[in-house]
A and B are shown apart, each in its own frame.
Chain A
Amino acid sequence: MKIQMIVREWLFFTIAPCDAAEPWQLGFQDAATPMMQGIIDLHHDIFFFLILILVFVSWILVRALWHFHYKKNPIPQRIVHGTTIEIIRTIFPSIILMFIAIPSFALLYSMDEVVVDPAITIKAIGHQWYRTYEYSDYNSSDEQSLTFDSYMIPEDDPELGQSRLLEVDNRVVVPAKTHIRIIVTSADVLHSWAVPSSGVKCDAVPGRLNQTSILVQREGVYYGQCSEICGTNHAFMPIVVEAVSRKDYGSRVSNQLIPQTGEA
């Protein structure tokens, strides 16, 4: 029974919040967008060279220490240059750098690519210390808008299954498998809108609108935190993105729009 409890606890705490950070996590969170997949792939690509270089350099270092020990080799050799070795050790690292640079730039520029026709625009506005989200694609006037604030659930309040310091009262609902434009800005100081499993980290600068595009490939709940020191409660303004199917997104938005138009 006790073992069962432990297993259950382990399953619960490590698998339940799939798209949030886990205790003692070392690797990436599961990718939810092609961008994050690209970042993970680039990381693995670079790690191939990194390990290769690490092994090679350590081998040279250990070999040098071993063979040129002062007891073994009391009179140092006075070689000042060798053309062949110098050419090799210049050209070879440049080739390695090129192999790293090509996928790196490819990813960098594809992230920068502006999606020609996104399906929806969401504005994420940072405040000290909460976020406001605006869905204004469906507005028919300047006054009426689907706007809500997203505050963290206080530390003493979360229900069973909610992540401490990560859960918010109003999640950003987005449709999955849809191109989304996110306009990130701030109303006071620098903030940053960052969701690791989406591969997004976009600074929120007052007076400036930063655009970032995401395409969430699977439905789920994705957690992120403010990533630009913004004051006392910097740690307490998380981001929760809930990706739902297009149909559910439509009904969710229309449900929230109906009471508003009813009032107006």
Chain B
Amino acid sequence: MNQNDVVQGDNLTLSEVITGKQAPDPAHEYGTVSPPPSSPDQSYRNEDEVPQPNVEIELKTAPGDWRFPVQNQTRHCYTRYLEYHRCIKEKGKDDPACEKFARYYRSLCPLEWIQRWNEQVEQGTFPGPI
């Protein structure tokens, strides 16, 4: 049996249908085909198709610091936080030079720590040298 000869199912061949020996298979009824399983990737693809306001994200973060060339970065985060506060003490809150340090400590420190320190700074109980 030729591969192209097969129409649907195993018992039905094209030649037999054409010569009238056999009735063709009935067409599939609606609703018998189950929908394909939704893959998790599908939702992302749909998201991408929706036109969105294009905000360019610059891949930029706190650079590596040679004062802290180790796995433990706790001091790195803390030092950047101190540097920021020393900077705004010296140059004023809105100085653009200090913004750099703010970005660094936000990149490195957990949000929880920043919030706790900020509270302490507000209350004047922050133990660090700022």
Which residues of chain A have a CB within 8 Å of any CB of chain B?
112, 114-121, 123, 125, 134, 136-139, 142, 145, 147, 159-162, 175, 178, 181, 183, 185, 187, 207-212, 246, 248-251, 253-255, 257-258
Question: What's the minimum C-beta distance from B109 to chain A, rounded to whole angstroms?
Answer: 8
The stretch that binds A, out of B19-27, B66-74, B89-97, is B66-74
Q: A114-B71, A137-B107, A208-B74 are in contact. List 17 more A-B contacts (CB 8 A).
A: A115-B64, A118-B64, A123-B110, A125-B112, A137-B103, A142-B106, A142-B115, A160-B37, A161-B39, A161-B40, A162-B40, A183-B77, A208-B72, A209-B109, A210-B73, A212-B71, A258-B55
Q: Could you say which residues of chain B place their CB within 8 Å of the CB of A175?
A: 59
Chain A residue with Cβ nearest B38? A159
Q: Which of B26-54 contact A (CB under 8 A)?
A: 37-40, 47-48, 52-54
Q: Could you say which residues of chain B place their CB within 8 Å of the CB of A137?
A: 59-61, 103, 106-107
Of B47, B54, B59, B76, the residue contacting A246 (CB under 8 A) is: B59
Question: What's the minimum C-beta distance from B44 to chain A, rounded to whole angstroms?
Answer: 8
The total of interchain contacts (Cβ-Cβ below 8 angstroms) comes to 106
* Bound: A250/B109 CA distance, A: 22
Q: Could you say which residues of chain B place their CB within 8 Å of the CB of A138?
A: 57
Question: What's the minimum C-beta distance from A260 to chain B, rounded to whole angstroms?
Answer: 12
Is B8 on the interface with A (CB-CB < 8 A)? no
